[in-house]
Amino acid sequence: MKGNGLCSDDTFRRIWLGTAAGRLGSSVASVATPLVALEVLDASAFTISLLMAAAWIPWLLIGLPAGAWVDRRAKRPVMIVSDAVAAVAVVSVPLAAWWNVLTVAHLLIAAVVIGTATVFFQTAWTSYLPAVLDHRQLVPANAFLYGSESAAQVAGPGLAGLLAGAVGAVAGLLVQAGTFVVSAVCLLGVRRPERRTPPTVQPHLRREIVEGGRYVVTDKFLLTLTAHGALSNLWLTGYQALLVVFLVRDVGLTATTVGLLLTLTSLGGVAGAAAAPMLSRRLGTARMLVFCKAGAGPAALLIPLTESGTRAALFVIGNALVVAGVVAGNVVAGSFRQSYVPQHLLSRATTSMQFVNYGTIPLGAIAAGALASVAGTRASLWVMTAAFAVSGLVLVLGPLRGRRDLPAPAWSAQPVEASHPVRTGA
């Protein structure tokens, strides 16, 4: 099975369809959820930021043990159960709204449950690709998946805006629930067994967590990517938590227009994912990663300049460049991690990185909301985007400086043969 034959591979097609469906639902919900809070509950900017923080809190609470736990198990069943749990949590919100019993507490609890399901799904998914695909397919596979994710981000906000204008923002959440069901059905149809390395010692949860964290901390490349991810996510999420409130209340746009603008900015993600393999070949993976991720920061400074009318274009340009740089960099960084880290450590090392990376997201959302409550939404956006603009210095000044390519793995990247397969349904 060759890298350029991904689209004809049934396993990858099902993974792609399931992932694309889930990403579309999340994209719709990213606009629909704050609109529900604004329209149904008349929520403040701080409440909106709390909703985003609640979705990411599980990474701090269970991220590390989840990685060790997932490393011991077949990944596909974990992903299917995660989809089912998330779908039930999402459906509860429109039902409560239609029965006039929806509260901020309900939205927060639903966000935590969905975030918990996402921890397990994302942790399993990261290790699932190298367990069912050849290592040489990881860059094209990730480029394809990130491109599909960006395409979903293009369609999602616009769809959420249209639904909000036609039948109300609450209906947009039903789309998200349906996409979780589609994702689970697609994964149920995968028949290829996963490759797994056999355990060499009796499992011990705490020891396994420490082993994954130590691997990241002692590797200068993984540690640099982790540090940059944590710092940039702190500020990136801070301003993103305020975007819908800013566009609706400060700029004065309608829900449909907000959806349209976010759709246009998401085109940057499609372009970034499509360009990632070509840029990697021409610039080298290390140079491309630094260029895209560090270069995305200054573009965010256009966002607080947004006004109604023609100056709304500043939001589209700035946010599109940010999304393009982040997505292109994520394609290379994700593929590097999947091929660089030994497979038996991959889930643990990934969640160790994500524990730090994603752990700053709720902090950024809460900080932005608190600052907006005191100084106003636009002033908070200026602080967050300015800090995001300089976060790329971690990569510019780090161990990637002067390198053309990211390092090759020191371990053998050849897959473990099927003497220890995890079969479908195991």
User: Is 182 contained in some domain?
Assistant: yes
pLDDT at 68 over 90: no
User: Is 421 contained in some domain?
Assistant: no
Q: Which residue has the higher pLDDT, 4 or 181?
A: 181
pTM of the model: 0.71
pLDDT at 5 over 60: no
pLDDT at 275 over 70: yes
Other beta carbons within 10 angstroms of residue 5's beta carbon come to: 11
User: Is 288 contained in some domain?
Assistant: yes
User: Is 426 contained in some domain?
Assistant: no
User: Is 311 contained in some domain?
Assistant: yes
Range of the domain at 99: 8-195+204-396
The CATH number of whichever domain residue 285 belongs to comes to 1.20.1250.20
The pLDDT, as a whole number, for residue 195 is 66
User: Is 104 contained in some domain?
Assistant: yes
Q: Are 10 and 133 in contact (CB under 8 A)?
A: no
Q: Label residues 311-346 b or e (16+ Cβ within 10 Å = b).
A: ebebbbbbbbbbbbbbbbbbbbbbbbbbbbbebbbb
Tokens read off for 139: 């860059």
Q: pLDDT tens digits, residue range 343-391?
A: 777 777 877 887 888 888 888 988 998 999 999 999 999 999 999 999 9
User: Is 401 contained in some domain?
Assistant: no
Q: pLDDT tens digits, residue range 322-341?
A: 988 988 888 888 778 877 88
pLDDT at 63 over 90: no
Residue 333 to residues 131, 197, 279, 311, 340: CA-CA distances in angstroms?
18, 23, 13, 34, 10
Q: pLDDT tens digits, residue range 136-177?
A: 666 666 666 666 665 665 566 556 666 665 556 676 677 778
Mean confidence (pLDDT) of the chain: 80
- In the block, which residue shows the tokens 């599109």? 320
What is the number of structural domains in the chain? Answer: 1
The confidence band for 191, taking pLDDT boundaries of 50, 70 and 90, is: confident
pLDDT at 114 over 90: no
pLDDT at 231 over 90: yes
State whether residue 308 is helix, strand or coil.
Answer: coil
User: Is 142 contained in some domain?
Assistant: yes
pLDDT at 235 over 90: yes
Cα 102 to the center of its chain, rounded Å: 27
Other beta carbons within 10 angstroms of residue 28's beta carbon come to: 29
